[in-house]
């Protein structure tokens, strides 16, 4: 598989496929490489205790890959990628629309050379339409495609639209890319033919708004920001306790009755105005007020013990230190060390998928820039040492 993508959406898809066993060759610009190599601090510390130029951001999205440098604006770089694409199963790219066509590396050109290729293009707004030439990053997509309008505290609490704390538009586009690629591979098993995939950050972001989309489409009313609350379920939000906050997520009437018993509000649970979720949504403010008054008198630990014992979903609001220091993290193998060219090991959050017969592979941390250029050119492409040196002198690799 060839990964010609930069930043996060494409690299995330490539990393996930690499976890699943794909041999992924990441093509990067000579000298500079992927933009995110410079998105620091923090930086990886080498075996001598010195900071390297390897950013945590780049490391997060490029494990299990090989790095080969190629200047796609030069004939030598174009020829290198073309030769790799002849035998590749998958190619992912996220260049501005039309850029790769100038270099003969677009979907039509490479599918002509390799009809079995799955060619996945990720862009801001897609390969067609009036916005196809516009650039886009995650944060602007969170804004433009509706996510920020439903994220954050409500206006009456002084809130303003907020973005999610990670680049979730990129991550979810990468996840859509993986499912699309796997579907295209399955189709190829039946037909023998590859195909191109057109995927945009904008449409992906709109698509995964899920129930919020459907709420609007069925009512014509734009959903409003509710902070931690849920538009369709009550109670489903954070509550202040005597020493912090807890998240309570009631999903059905049985859980609601159990929750009320835990909070010593059993009589409230039997009231008609709260008996069903429909009623609770209508009387949200009254119920939340009653629960808030009760919860603030005891500790988070007290309430969580009672709620867990009654089968009511509830949890702390943990920072990442709490997540990774929790004994449960070690119990479930949440983090593992992977070898890196400059360090003894790099910690990684493990893939959440657990296969019974084909386990996720953890081969190596993200590569240094061009780490595998000579090996790939000399091995898979059978370039001679003299040819590789000529390409390097010309700046093509």
Q: Which residues are catalytically annotated?
A: 170
Tokens representing 36 are 């995110």
Classify each residue of 264-299 as buried b or exposed e, where b means 16 or more C-beta atoms within 10 Å of its C-beta.
Answer: ebeebbeeeebeebebbeebbeebbebbeebbeeee
Q: Tokens standing for 319?
A: 């920072």
Q: What's 143-162 look like in SS3?
A: HHCCCHHHCCCCHHHCCCCC
CA angle, 52 as apex, 48 and 54 as ends, to 5°?
135
Pairing type for strands 236-240 and 245-249 reads antiparallel
Q: How far apart are CA 189 and CA 114, in angstroms?
A: 15
Sign of CA dihedral 357, 363, 369, 371: negative
- What H or E segment, with its residue span, contains residue 345? strand 343-349
Q: How far is CA 245 from CA 95, 239, 293, 301, 318, in A?
A: 44, 5, 13, 10, 10
Residues 6 or more apart whose Cβ sits within 8 Å of residue 331: none
């Amino acid at each position: 598989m060839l990964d010609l993508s930069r930043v996060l959406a494409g690299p995330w898809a490539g990393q996930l496929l690499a976890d699943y066993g794909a041999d992924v060759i990441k093509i990067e610009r000579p000298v500079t490489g992927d933009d995110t190599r410079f998105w620091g601090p923090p930086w990886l510390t080498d075996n001598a205790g010195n900071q390297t130029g390897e950013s945590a951001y780049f490391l997060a999205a490029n494990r299990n890959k090989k790095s080969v440098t190629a200047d796609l604006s030069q004939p030598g770089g174009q020829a290198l990628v073309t030769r790799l694409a002849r035998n590749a199963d998958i190619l992912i790219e996220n260049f501005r629309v039309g850029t790769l066509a100038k270099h003969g590396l677009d979907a039509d050109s490479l599918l002509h050379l390799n009809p079995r290729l799955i060619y996945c293009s990720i862009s801001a707004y897609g390969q067609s339409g009036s916005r196809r030439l516009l650039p886009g990053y995650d944060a602007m997509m969170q804004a433009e495609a509706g996510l920020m309008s439903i994220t954050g505290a409500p206006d009456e609490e002084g809130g303003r639209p907020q973005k999610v704390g990670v680049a979730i538009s990129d991550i979810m586009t990468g996840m859509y890319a993986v499912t699309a690629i796997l579907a295209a591979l399955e189709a190829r098993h039946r037909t023998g033919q590859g195909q191109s995939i057109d995927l945009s950050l904008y449409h992906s972001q709109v698509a995964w708004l899920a129930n919020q989309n459907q709420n609007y489409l069925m009512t014509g009313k734009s959903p409003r920001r509710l902070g931690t609350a849920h538009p369709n379920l009550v109670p489903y939000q954070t509550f202040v306790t005597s020493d912090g906050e807890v998240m309570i997520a009631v999903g059905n009437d049985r859980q609601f009755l159990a929750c009320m018993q835990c909070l010593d509000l059993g009589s409230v649970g039997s009231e008609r105005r709260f008996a069903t979720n429909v009623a609770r949504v209508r009387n949200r403010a009254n119920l939340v007020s009653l629960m808030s008054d009760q919860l603030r008198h005891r500790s988070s630990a007290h309430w969580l013990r009672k709620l867990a014992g009654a089968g009511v979903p509830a949890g702390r609001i943990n920072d990442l230190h709490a997540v990774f220091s929790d004994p449960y993290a070690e119990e479930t193998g949440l983090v593992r060390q992977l070898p890196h060219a400059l360090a003894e090991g790099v910690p990684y959050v493990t893939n959440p998928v657990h296969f019974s017969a084909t386990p996720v592979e953890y081969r190596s941390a993200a590569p240094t820039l061009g780490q595998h250029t000579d090996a790939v050119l000399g091995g898979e492409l059978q370039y001679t040492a003299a040819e590789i040196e000529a390409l390097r002198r010309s700046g093509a690799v």
